[in-house]
Each structure stands twice: as C-alpha cells, then as structure tokens.
C-alpha cells in the first residue's frame, strides 16, 4: 500500500522569506500524481500544486514550486516570498495509476506559521 510521510509536524517562516515543506512517499508504481493541498483555518482544502511522475520538470504555480525527486521518492514544496495568508496546514497527497487510482492518500500534514 502507498504511504505518504510528512516529517515536519510544524514549521514557521518570516514574512517574505522562503520555506520548504518535506514529503516522502512509498510506492511500487511507475506513474502517479502528487499533490499539495492547503487547509487554512476555514478548513477548506485547496489544491496548491500537482506533479505527474512522468514529467521531469518541476511544477510551479506563482510563488509555489516543488522539488520532485522520483528516485528518492521525495516531493517537497517551496513557498517563496511567504505571505500571512500562506499560514495553513499543508497536506502532501498521492494518487496512483494502478488499482487504487480512485484514492487520494494523504500525509498527516505540516502546520505552517507565518510570522510578521
């Protein structure tokens, strides 16, 4: 079974600085998607960024980018120029291409605090 591990329960960053959130996963599949979701205090889950395993180029969405290392099964999220509105719980998630392609498997989350 696929597992997703976020080793940092909490992180903090100063406003305008850069922070990197870590995520590792375990899978035997060769093709899959990886996602980062943000859950602010409102508790709605918001898709931040996604990466297909077959694409070598790291995904970027404005101030958010990923460092995808397929061999190491690592998928970190970098937030540049951090803003107060970035404060949230961040979840890394995996979706495989095999028999469990319906299922999004989540890590336990990293709580990000942004200090003014």
Positions in the binding site for other proteins (CB under 8 A):
4, 9, 31-33, 35, 37, 42-47, 50, 52, 91, 95-97, 101-104, 106-109
- Which one, 34 or 82, has the nearer CB to other proteins? 34
Q: What does the DSSP 8-state code read for residue 25?
A: E
- Which one, 43 or 116, has the nearer CB to other proteins? 43
Provide, rounded to whole angstroms, the least separation between the CB of residue 106 and other proteins.
3
- Which one, 35 or 68, has the nearer CB to other proteins? 35
Provide, rounded to whole angstroms, the least separation between the CB of residue 67 and other proteins.
20
Quote the strand ranges of the chain, DSSP E. Answer: 3-5, 10-14, 19-21, 24-26, 32-39, 46-52, 60-61, 64-69, 74-79, 88-96, 105-106, 110-115
């Amino acid at each position: 079974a696929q597992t997703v591990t976020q080793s940092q329960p909490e992180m903090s960053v100063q406003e305008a600085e850069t922070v990197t959130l870590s995520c590792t996963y375990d899978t035997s599949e060769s093709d899959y998607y990886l996602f980062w979701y943000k859950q602010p205090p409102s508790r709605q889950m918001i898709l931040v960024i996604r990466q297909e395993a077959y694409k070598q180029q790291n995904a970027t969405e404005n101030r958010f980018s990923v460092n995808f290392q397929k061999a190491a099964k690592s998928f970190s999220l970098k937030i540049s120029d951090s803003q107060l509105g970035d404060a949230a719980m961040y979840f890394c998630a995996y979706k495989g291409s095999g028999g469990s392609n319906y299922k999004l498997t989540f890590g336990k989350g990293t709580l990000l605090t942004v200090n003014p």
